[in-house]
Structure 1
Amino acid sequence: MEEKKKKGFFKKLVSGLSKTRNNIVESVDNIFSSFSSIDEEFYEELEETLIVSDLGVDTTLKIIENLKEKVKENKVKDPQDVKQLLMEEIKNLLKIEETEYAFENKKSVILVIGVNGVGKTTTIGKLAHQFKQDKKKVILAAADTFRAAAIDQLIEWANRANVEIIAQQANSDPGAVVYDAVAAAKSRKADILICDTAGRLHNKKNLMEELRKINKIIEREYGEVHKETLLVLDSTTGQNALQQAKQFKEIANITGIVLTKLDGTAKGGIAIAIQSELQVPVKYIGVGEGVEDLQKFDAESFVEALFAKEDEEAESL
């Protein structure tokens, strides 16, 4: 059953990455087929293509430098043979250890942060549903109290996932919500407490103070628990998502990234830039509206889906 789910998600991934594939891979393939030898011009063309494909300058320079070494090491002469080396290089940049998901099997508090509109509340709902399916006892905390819609949306998700939620009125103190949620998680022996938080990055000082206060409450009241901080980013915003991540990294100890809306963008290359430049793992990706369309990130599958041939894509649909 698990294998079937994985295959189903890979098909979605191949399909979801079609815009990104058209953006990156077609241009890259053109370079491989139009050059007869591997020279400086070949690398310059490849570099330019990767930069404009939302991989960004720093990540691209790292890839090209490593690629040159591999080409030399393996005595590669044919530009067509560089494609496999490029895929391996991207996989290496994206690879994350299985231990990064250890929190799923520990008593954990997951703080979910991100600006409004990136799919934060939906991500929490989908994670809650999946943890519940795995027989975990889950409690949600509606600590984004500045938006009544966020509270209502989270309550709706809690009902759909059949998990408990701790919520107060709009404009309540977020710290008080988290305090009550921690007390509930302890007394009801919850496995995972997921806290929604406000996403007003334009008012960074207030947001920083709020997150500091929430963390202090968790530390004081539930010190023994594992803490995870997931940043949700909208992949359709490309380089803006990377800038957001950099800003959030200044004010929070981010342990993982959730990249949403990969199915609606040509900017999926941003996943590579984010992980490479921030040194923070992309832990989950979303390629659709369905509950099962948010899955753990797998570098191998991502790169294979990104570079999938057109006939594989058609086969997967």
Structure 2
Amino acid sequence: MPRSKALPAELDPSARQLAERLRLLKDHGELTMRQLAAKTGYSAKSWERYLGGTSLPPREAVEALARITGADPTPLFALHEIAADTWDTRRTRPAAPPPLTTRGRQGPDHEQEQGQGQGHEQEQGREQERGSEQEPSAEPRPGSAPVPTAPTGPPVTGAAPGRFSHIALTAGVAALAVALLAALLLLQRLDDDVAPAAVATPPRTTATSPQPSYTCHITRVDGRWSAGVNDGRDTEIFYGATGADVAEAQCLLRRAGISPGGIDGMFGPLTLRAVRTFQLRAGLTVDGMLGPRSWKALRG
């Protein structure tokens, strides 16, 4: 078995323990990712995320892995419930806006600080000029016009608009970053929810290739029931399989009084339900797979 990758360091302890338990069950059962996908209905890509600690597995996926490996699902459900609470909190927590780089701070802010310093020096110079103008001077002669003074000019107010523009720009960048993060989290959640449903869809044949037709010929040969479709083979089949072996099982299920749907050679949801019903009735392990014991009971 290939060695598993290390779990992320920032993973919550409950989620880490759950992922390690699931890895042990997979390794103990000597299951590959492809076998996990076929036996649980969840894709191999989804199981890589579940066992790698990058995505929290659904409760149904945990139950399916415990069922096919014969493990007790109760402690796994308890770990999953704790991990789900902390996982949702970690995923919905808004990320802080990225800090401005050193070069960015030395752009508008640096120029603004220089402008404010220059404006302050100019203001101090004008105050000194006003002080010198307000000193007592000789009174004007009677009848003479007052001597006009040179205008000092309006005070510099260019620093305030620049400051407001910078604040508005920073707030806009922060809001954009939060919106992008929320959109990414939503897309990832939708991908986790849709992936199992896409894998669980039974395979379809193309429109150009006609589906083979099967006919049940139930006979008893040497004390064993046969439908005459797959020459008496007892090949192990599971959900998603197609072909004559599936059609043989469908015929024998119908003979046992359990409807698998049509005799189309496709191991779909109806056939899966019929197999589980038969296994429950026969006292077998209800795993939805037709192995040697299930075939023996069908033909017996």
TM-score band by shorter chain is: under 0.3
Q: TM-score, normalised by structure 1?
A: 0.24
Q: Which structure shows the higher helix fraction?
A: 1
Q: Which has the larger radius of gyration?
A: 2
